Amino acid sequence: MFVFHITSFAQTSQEYLTVKGIELTLETEINYVLNQLLNKGFQKPDNFNQFYSETGYYVIKGTFNNIPDCSIQLMPAQYDKTKVAIIGIKFPEKNTFNSLKEEYDFLKKSLSQKYYLHEEIEKFDNDYVARSNSDVLKMNALRKDECKFCSLFWINKEDKGGKGGISLSIGHIYANYSDYYSVYLVYTTPNHIIDLLTTDDL
């Protein structure tokens, strides 16, 4: 089964993407975002300072879109470490495909009411798995990277992602001999676009 759309559900009059009411502009500083989120009830984990010293990223935890126990990662721009480039939200791990898809659909609906849905890809590589009601087969496909569920949002159709974008996906990681399955939400800001334009890989 393959579903691919380029469509529009909502047009917003706002000028920038927002996270918990925080505008993500070229001038938005990463420490400002961190402090605003802490003021809104997010908390630093025990390894907050260690993780920052090892990676240069901030990680905090809290409730996002009424879903508790989320992990929020704040990544700085490469061209200016004081500016925020990427905000990643990892929702709590789940152990069934149905629960992952339910959360994915809930978040997609919420985002579609606020932003322009530019693209969505929702497919299994194997048609039998796609038609099956077996949660085991679908989780196995996710583990083997044999399916993709991803939606991309822009601020509006005319912007074409120039002011950043939002990627919603169902993902899997393997760590410490175990599999972990979660829904992921990634906000990219205008500063990330500058990073991409100024990166020299030669």
pLDDT higher at 162 or 18: 18
pLDDT score of 160: 83
pLDDT score of 200: 58
Instruction: List the domain boundaries for the chain.
Output: 2-198
pLDDT score of 161: 83
pLDDT-derived band at 104 (thresholds 50, 70, 90) equals very high
Let me know: does 61 contact 74? Beta carbons within 8 Å: no
Q: Which residue has the tokens 């879109």?
A: 65
CA-nearest of 170, 131, 118 to 149 is 170
| pLDDT value at 135 more than 80 | yes
DSSP helix/strand/coil, 175 = strand
Mean pLDDT of 141-156: 96
Task: Transcribe 95-150 into DSSP letters.
Answer: S-HHHHHHHHHHHHHHHHTTSEEEEEEEEESSHHHHH---HHHHHHHHHTT-EEEE
From residue 107, give the alpha-carbon distance in Å to each of 52, 78, 111, 173: 28, 29, 6, 20
| pLDDT value at 136 more than 50 | yes
Distance CA(171)–CA(148), nearest Å, equals 8
pLDDT score of 4: 40
Residue 23 one-letter amino acid: E
